[in-house]
A and B are shown apart, each in its own frame.
Chain A
Amino acid sequence: MSDHKTMTINLVVWRQKNANDPGKYENYTVKGITEHHSFLEMMDVLNEDLIKAGKDPVAFDHDCREGICGMCSQVVNGMPHGGQDRTTVCQLHMRKFHDGDTIYIDPWRAKAFPIVKDLVVDRAALDSIIQAGGYTSCHTGGVPDGNAILIAKPVADEAMDAAECIGCGACVAGCPNSAAMLFTGAKVSQLAVLPQGKTEAKQRVINMVNAMKECGFGNCTNHYECQVSCPKGINVKFIARMNREYLKAQF
């Protein structure tokens, strides 16, 4: 709105043409930003300026812009999604910044997430982990009535807490070891606590942990950076549960 004060923001953005390009930081200045701009709308302003100047706009992933699809993925000032509690970068608003601020923007950096262009990375490795076992092997049709399996509210709530994961990969980007333990642990736990998932629990956790290793993700050394980075507040206790499930599966 016009009666609001506007901000001028300095940006230092990672630019990389493709996976083989070494990449470098570029400096930009954006003007006319209000407190109501979302972070990505601020990036839109930058890109409109770049296009008009005949320059290549900054490539970044985004889609729903309401914090649920998991597509957006930027490290802002060293924190995945910008560090606001339980907030994706698309839901981060410029009222959290000040006029004249300098903001550093990087892509997710991990061996398992090769860079596609600028801030866009390839997260197919997360799909591979789910394909290894992140499901119950029920067929379409031929399943019992939904109320035939009673699930106590605390159990359903616990499963839902884990199921909130949006698969953005911030946990990997935040982790000094680039581990995907929070992501994997959340899915293992969701299905391990529910009666529907118990039948396959052993094989599932073994297969998913193996896939995680094969994709080149690191291991957990209890820094808890993943939990801080997670825009959905997924708790590290689900890593502990995955470890427990994994040990149980050995016997």
Chain B
Amino acid sequence: MILDGKCPTGPIQQSWDKHRFDLKLVNPANKRKYNIIMVGTGLAGGAAAASLGELGYNVMAFCYQDSPRRAHSIAAQGGINAAKAYPNDGDSIYRLFYDTIKGGDFRAREADVWRLAQVSNNIIDQCVAQGVPFARDYAGYLDNRSFGGAQVSRTFYARGQTGQQLLLGAYSALSRQIKAGTVKMYNRREMLDLVVVDGVAKGITVRNLVTGEIECYAADAVCLATGGYVNVFYLSTNAMGCSVTAQWVAHKKGAYFANPCYTQIHPTCIPQAGDYQSKLTLMSESLRNDGRCWVPKKKEDCGKHPNEIAEADRDYYLERKYPSFGNLAPRDIASRAAKEQCDDSRGVGPGGRGVYLDFSSAINRVGEDTIRERYGNLFEMYEKITDENGYKRPMRMYPAPHYSMGGLWVDYNLMSNIPGLFVLGEANFSVHGANRLGASALMQGLADGYFVIPYTIGGYLAGVKPSGTSTDAAEFKKSVEDVNATNNKLLNVNGKKTVTEFMRELGGLMWENCGMARSDASLKENLKKIPALREEFWKNVKVTGTGAEFNQQLENAGRTADFLEFAELMCRDALHREESCGGHFRTEHQYDDGEAKRDDANFCYAGAWEFKGVNSEPELHKEPLKFENVHLAVRSYK
């Protein structure tokens, strides 16, 4: 099937304004008759729940954490992009649009990206009004820094905790609506099923993580803002509770999963120290404003103390390979370059899997105090984890899974192919193409939440009758039975291996064979090994306790079971996409200099998969991508 994104036509500059006018409206008195479910309370979900509640809808918001303020958006460090052009350096909405399309390696929809760039400016204003303490200069104006993939300074920031401050802004707006009674908040609930009645999304089934009770909620529309799936690699920069589960259960109920193979491996993370490790820690891309990446030129220098390696013997490989962007090359390119140096046996630290990020020239230029003011919390975090002082010796970095560009397929209105199911933020596939630029995730989450969904959901609701919150329909009953059956199955295997052991094994397979480099052979190997691991899981997993209590093992077991199914789809997508683009690098498809080789003649589309059963092949649907405003070209940062 050819999918239609239902993008507006005509000049792109007017596309969002025209579309907003064309959307039907729900009058203020009627809004209170509609119920909306919001799953996830990060930047996208928190902002959306607050904005929809304020408009007058009845919102039910759900999160698995103990408070909506804990969503993993909080961990974003560096900043948020906007096309304000305050520094007078030539930025514009068009340039932000262009950079994002090119940064995504021409695999995103033009109309969606234009809209994102357009509303980016409103986001900054909104957050300032909420009291988000963005960095300011001495005259009181907002300050900017630079991020990868752009030659202008358009990133707004709040020390190294921008995500935290933006999330707390959204959380405060949400709290105000909870107080006002327009939003009902359900903490410590995990979505385990989507309820579809007559082909329309009508509700969700969740597990109350405190009591273990399985609960149903019904509404006129269901919104998923449940983040990404890179915990499929086990070790990633995501929080421990991040999972594919909400996306996956929606997929199993019919929602198409688009471009699951597009995953972002972030170039600057603290290298893994041992097998026991539970997660990887990111060091903000903003560090590359002042830090320079290098490895020794000579293999024999790799074991030396970095400060003893002469300047002439250091290979500043990003500056060498990409002189016009230097250390601010986009993430996919910087990560691959780091891997390339390590594969060439010039990596540093344990196992030779590391590169240096060196601040000595910046410290000589502006002084240690200035560097401390800019990134102090990051240097502290680095020291806590590694016991090394980043001011005195270069930090060691290695790429790590960080973000998923792929996600549930949505049209221009953020609605999936299931009527009434909307998907926001990282959970959808829409704007980042095959690679996301730094400081764009916060922008997308808040754009979707504050300025897109409040309009587009109205266009849908105006066309349906309010159906109340009764969960009497047979579909709800069936959903509860199914969820209970799965939990009981997990509890009754009573095997020998722990959930973590399975997840670690799956993560290893994914990192090795579907990580920074993928090949026909490696992917086919995974397509054999993953189903076998899944089979073993259902025969040999050990989950203690019962379903009717607070049981973190059961939570993890359910998430792992879903990852074991999803991982196969991800490999299948990577295998079918016989090209390299952005974060998806197929070793068979590269130029002589190792750069990614896209195939626009055959793969200029979003690939959306339809679920056909756990051990059956999914069906691929394509949405062709048209580039009318930015010309398809080989992406170069040289």
The chain A residues found within 8 Å of chain B, CB to CB, are 1, 17-18, 34-38, 40-41, 44-45, 48, 50-52, 54-57, 59, 61-71, 86-87, 91, 93, 95, 116-117, 120, 122-124, 126-127, 130-132, 134-141, 143-147, 149-153, 156-157, 159-160, 163-164, 166-167, 190-191, 194, 196-197
Contacts and interface: CB of A to CB of B under 8 A. Distances in A.
A152 B158 CA distance: 14
What bracket does the count of chain B residues touching chain A fall in?
35 or more
A84 to B, nearest CB: 8
A140 B125 contact: no
Contact of A18 (B172, B176, B544, B550): B550
Contact of B239 (A38, A65, A136, A141): A65
B498 A52 contact: yes
A192 B628 CA distance: 49
5 contacts: A37-B274, A123-B66, A127-B69, A141-B122, A163-B165
Contacts of B384: 67, 87, 91, 93
A93 B385 contact: yes
Contacts of B237: 66
B128 A143 contact: yes
Given A34-B274, A124-B187, A141-B122, A69 B129 contact: no
A69 B74 contact: yes
B546 to A, nearest CB: 10
Contacts of A194: 131, 133
Contacts of B380: 86
Contact of A54 (B68, B72, B544): B544
Interface hub of B175, B282, B381, B553 (most chain A Cβ within 10 A): B175
A61 B66 contact: yes
B526 to A, nearest CB: 26
Given A51-B544, A153-B138, A127 B173 contact: no
A85 B248 CA distance: 41
B632 to A, nearest CB: 35
B594 to A, nearest CB: 31
Interface hub of A18, A68, A131, A144 (most chain B Cβ within 10 A): A68
B450 interface: yes
Given A65-B240, A141-B451, A153-B138, A190 B133 contact: yes
B142 A147 contact: yes
Given A37-B276, A57-B544, A164-B161, A145 B125 contact: yes
Interface in B193-244: 210, 237, 239-241
A70 B159 CA distance: 18
B240 A51 contact: no
B70 A41 contact: no
Contact of A51 (B138, B175, B274, B498): B498
Given A69-B72, A95-B387, A144-B129, A62 B381 contact: no
Contacts of A61: 66
A159 B131 contact: yes
A126 B67 contact: yes
Nearest to B552: A59
A48 B161 CA distance: 33
A35 B72 CA distance: 27
Interface in B169-195: 171-173, 175-176, 178-179, 185, 187
Contacts of B133: 156-157, 159-160, 163, 190, 194
B161 A135 contact: no
Nearest to B277: A41
B84 interface: yes
A59 B550 contact: yes
Given A38-B278, A66-B279, A68-B75, 15 more contacts: A38-B385, A41-B276, A50-B544, A55-B544, A64-B70, A65-B279, A71-B70, A87-B384, A116-B550, A122-B66, A130-B175, A131-B176, A135-B176, A159-B131, A167-B67
Interface in B356-382: 380-381
B590 interface: no
The 10 closest A-B CB pairs, nearest first, are: A150-B140, A135-B172, A143-B129, A159-B133, A138-B129, A160-B133, A146-B128, A156-B136, A140-B51, A36-B273
Interface in B530-551: 542, 544-545, 549-550
B131 A52 contact: no
Contacts of B165: 160, 163
Nearest to A95: B387
A130 B498 CA distance: 39
